[in-house]
């Protein structure tokens, strides 16, 4: 079998190009630190790496969602704490108002102070979050939940609780409805405070005031228990977020480690391959030089 000069040239060039391509690929891997540069390098590994990258992205989104949920719940918790402190303060004033030694003017001053607490309570009920949405209006974040007409306060929100997806299988409520917080057992906290203020302003003391004080104390206790119950539920959700956050962090580490095993380059092996590829390229170049210089005149 005769081998033509052009065939020898083609084979030599093809060999050098193959070795150069191998060198180029190794140089890319070493510069990027990645084993898989294109899906054709490892189709199964590339597909798995793509899945892991998507899982990492989704886990990161859940982490962001948990931060937002925690911020919302912490503001609700803080507001409920202020409401419970206010109820306790008003309750203390109700106990003091039962003192028969108080004069009408002193009861009027107490009523004036309670009007201030009433306005403060209404302000807390209409608290907004950092995005400008009302905390206690249900789904209607742009609707002011409580409107006052004279001494009467009505709830304008709905019964919905805003939810945030904090994990693949969990949507967490991050709000409380105004009627659930400020109304309990058919009793409105606003009406209780307003009725007590009216009693202070008009009863003039005696049995009427004693009855008003007794009723107010009972209703304040119911309202306080309700607010504390809602605050406990919020605290439970915050604890759940902490647990999910820890799980999310552990999951992120596992994903990153798995992705690293798939993608990251073994530098020691790559450098060894680079040296071997360089030697093969040099051998191909020398071989081509010798073959291309062959001629019958060299052996005559």
Specify whether 62 is located in the same domain as 202. Answer: yes
Quick: pLDDT tens for 25-69.
656 666 566 666 666 666 777 778 788 889 999 999 999 999 999
Q: What is the pTM of this model?
A: 0.75
Q: Which of 42-51, 91-100, 173-182, 209-218 has the lowest mean pLDDT?
A: 42-51
The residue segments making up the domain with residue 283 are 267-295
Quick: pLDDT tens for 132-153.
999 999 998 899 999 998 779 9
Quick: pLDDT tens for 223-281.
999 999 999 999 999 999 999 999 999 999 998 888 777 766 655 666 666 666 666 65
Residue-wise over 78-103: b if at least 16 C-beta within 10 A, else e? ebbebbbebbeebbebbeebeeeebe
Specify whether 279 is located in the same domain as 206. Answer: no
pLDDT value of position 269: 64
Question: pLDDT band at residue 18, thresholds of 50, 70 and 90?
Answer: low
Q: Please check the confidence at residue 1 and state whether its pLDDT lies above 60.
A: no
| Residue 130, domain CATH | 1.20.1330.10
Number of domains in the chain: 2
Instruction: Determine the average pLDDT of the residues in 72-80.
Output: 96
Instruction: Determine the average pLDDT of the residues in 1-25.
Output: 57
d(CA 55, CA 255): 8
Please check whether residue 133 lies inside any domain of the structure.
yes
Please check whether residue 66 lies inside any domain of the structure.
yes
């Amino acid at each position: 079998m005769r081998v033509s000069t052009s065939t020898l040239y083609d084979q030599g060039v093809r060999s050098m190009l193959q070795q150069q391509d191998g060198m180029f690929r190794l140089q890319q891997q070493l510069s990027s630190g990645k084993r898989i540069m294109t899906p054709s390098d490892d189709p199964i590994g590339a597909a798995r790496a793509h899945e892991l990258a998507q899982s990492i992205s989704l886990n990161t989104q859940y982490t962001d969602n948990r931060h937002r949920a925690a911020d919302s719940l912490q503001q609700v918790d803080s507001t409920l704490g202020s409401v419970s402190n206010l109820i306790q303060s008003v309750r203390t004033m109700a106990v003091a108002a039962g003192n028969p030694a108080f004069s009408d003017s002193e009861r009027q001053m107490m009523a004036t102070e309670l009007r201030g607490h009433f306005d403060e309570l209404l302000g807390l009920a209409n608290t907004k979050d950092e995005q400008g949405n009302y905390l206690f209006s249900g789904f209607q974040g742009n609707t002011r939940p409580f409107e006052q007409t004279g001494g009467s306060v009505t709830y304008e929100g709905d019964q919905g609780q805003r939810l945030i997806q904090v994990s693949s299988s969990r949507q967490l409520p991050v709000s409380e409805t105004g009627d659930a917080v400020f109304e309990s057992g058919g009793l409105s906290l606003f009406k209780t405070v307003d009725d007590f203020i009216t009693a202070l302003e008009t009863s003039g003391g005696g049995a009427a005031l004693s009855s008003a004080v007794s009723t107010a104390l009972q209703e304040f206790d119911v309202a306080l228990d309700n607010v504390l119950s809602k605050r406990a539920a919020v605290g439970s959700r915050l604890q759940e977020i902490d647990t999910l956050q820890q799980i999310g962090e552990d999951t992120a580490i596992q994903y990153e480690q798995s992705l690293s095993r798939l993608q990251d380059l073994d530098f020691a092996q790559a450098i060894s391959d680079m040296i071997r590829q360089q030697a093969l390229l040099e051998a191909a170049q020398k071989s081509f030089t010798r073959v291309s210089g062959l001629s019958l005149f060299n052996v005559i």
